[in-house]
Amino acid sequence: MTSFIQTSPTRTLSNTAQDHYIAAEAPFSTFIKKGQVVRIEDSYGQQAVDTLFYNAHDFSERYSSQDTMREQGAAYISTGTKVISNEGRVMLTVTADSCGRHDTSAGACSCESNTVRFGHYTKYLHACRDNFVIEVSKHGMSKRDVVPNINFFMNVPIEPSGEMTIVDGISAPGDYVELKAEMDVLLVISNCPQINNPCNGFDPTPIRVLVWDDEAA
Amino acid sequence: MHIRRSDEEIAANRARYEEHQKKGLEFAPKALPGKSAKPAPAIDAKKIMHQEKLPGGWYWWTRVKLNETLRIALDDGFSTVSVVAWNAEDPSERMNLPDTVKVQWTTGLGKGRVIFSDMGKVMFSITEDSSGAHDVLMGGSTASSNAKKYAGQNGPALRNTRDNFVLIATKAGLDKRDIPAALALFAPVRVDADGRFEWKPDLVSEGDYVDLRAEMDMIVGFSNCPHPLDPNPVYAPNPVSILRIAALEPAADDLCQTATAEAIRGFENNAFAAL
């Protein structure tokens, strides 16, 4: 774990609006107000952070991976990416990214998909889809509302042939991604517990989520 | 505070994954056949339960039973057909494309591949496919993508896939929360070395077809709207032919059910759920 990297004179550790420590493998959610900036920090490096966004005032509007990929004409997420909802609206904008590689095509691990991918013996392992269901259920939602997500810090290169595989994440301890909320959103995270592929370097680690108020406010 | 797993444990897990990855990436491409031949094999007329001609811009949905096959064919020229599917018994189980591509190690779907639900079960087997040019990443068009692309042609009023799927979901007793990421058939999208999308028109032509065999009872929705990357500046989707073909029990050595370790485990999940 490294020390805090400051990206703006107005964003320090002492003036955060929210500061959360999220244990390895755990679910998490919080509300981010329009104009606020949220930082997801990969505190120890090589940790996939499965993330979903919902409109805070109407959960039927939510993150859409397909709209997001279509809108930017590319398969990966980085600085400048507009996070698009199923209603075609911009939910957040990625304003900073010290890692440079985030996936939104491989989805979240689940007990069920793990049986297919790795073998039936992996059914009884913590999984992101279960984390998501637990977390969205706190907000009155269910499995129906869990949609394809963003995997921050997960490295899933897609070849021109279509071939894809999960390879070692390139994030170093302290790497971060920052997003500015363009509407009030509910942020839902599964701090991925997967230990069958290299998305967590085979060692799931804690992360940190920080929120700052609008600099202009 | 984090207590790191032991180096030995990490090394053992890594070695296991690398072996698994090698098998996944190497085995299936060798085991799978190439594209299906054109023209499409004729279907015994007695086996055709229903024939639909889906007009450009429109949607259609149907229920299918286990082992029935849907043939989607470009008999009237090029078009792109977006597809979504729900388990008829429990629509909270639906098509899951991220799982489909991740467990099969490829975004390229074609003959011999299967399409998974979010519950680790197989929904469709791709028993025939003449183009191998489909898009799992971008899905279909929306009101805003039409507005941008067909500016000056009353773009916002042109029919789009997102709205078509809202209509299908609603008529099937579901709502927009239930719409999964969509598979776009006959959308020749590829990803270049930088992650940018490319459209490869030479991969698809008139007469191309896909046969999807249902591996459970389902509600299946179709939308026949131009793909957002389709370079044609004019909104001109052609009609698409969809056949619903009577159930035929797969043979013991069925290609889709046996070609990969992932498909075999998926079908084991189907069998267990059907008990």
- CA A109, A112, A117, A123 torsion-angle sign: positive
Q: What digits encode the pLDDT tens for the residues A83-116?
A: 999 999 999 999 999 999 999 999 999 999 999 9
A7 touches chain B (CB under 8 A): no
Is the model's pLDDT at B260 over the cut of 70?
yes
Asked if B181 and A147 touch (Cβ cutoff 8 Å), the reply is yes
Q: Is A173 on the interface with B (CB under 8 A)?
A: no
What single letter denotes the amino acid at residue B133?
A
B197-225 burial code (b ≥16 CB/10 A, e <16): bebeeebbeeebbbbbbbbbebbbbbbbb
Of all residues in chain A, the one with the smallest CA distance to B178 is: A144
- Nearest Cβ partner of A116 from B103, B139, B197? B103
User: Of A76, A165, A203, which is closest to B4 when you measure between CB atoms?
Assistant: A203
pLDDT band at B219 (very low <50, low <70, confident <90, very high): very high
Interface of B with A in 207-236 (CB under 8 A): 228
Nearest by Cα to A32 from A175, A213, A160:
A213
Quote the CA–CA distance of A49 and A97 in Å, as a whole number.
Answer: 14
Cis ω before B41 (30° cut-off from 0): no
Neighbours of A79 (CB within 10 A): 13
Instruction: Report the distance separating Cα B232 and Cα A103, nearest Å.
Output: 29
> What are the chain B neighbours of A1 within 8 Å (beta carbons)?
2
pTM, 2 dp: 0.96
Q: What is the pLDDT of residues A153-207, one digit of tens each?
A: 999 999 999 999 999 989 999 999 999 999 999 999 999 999 999 999 999 999 9
ipTM metric: 0.95
Q: Is the pLDDT of residue A215 over 80?
A: no
| Backbone angles phi and psi of A79, in degrees to 5 | -50, 135
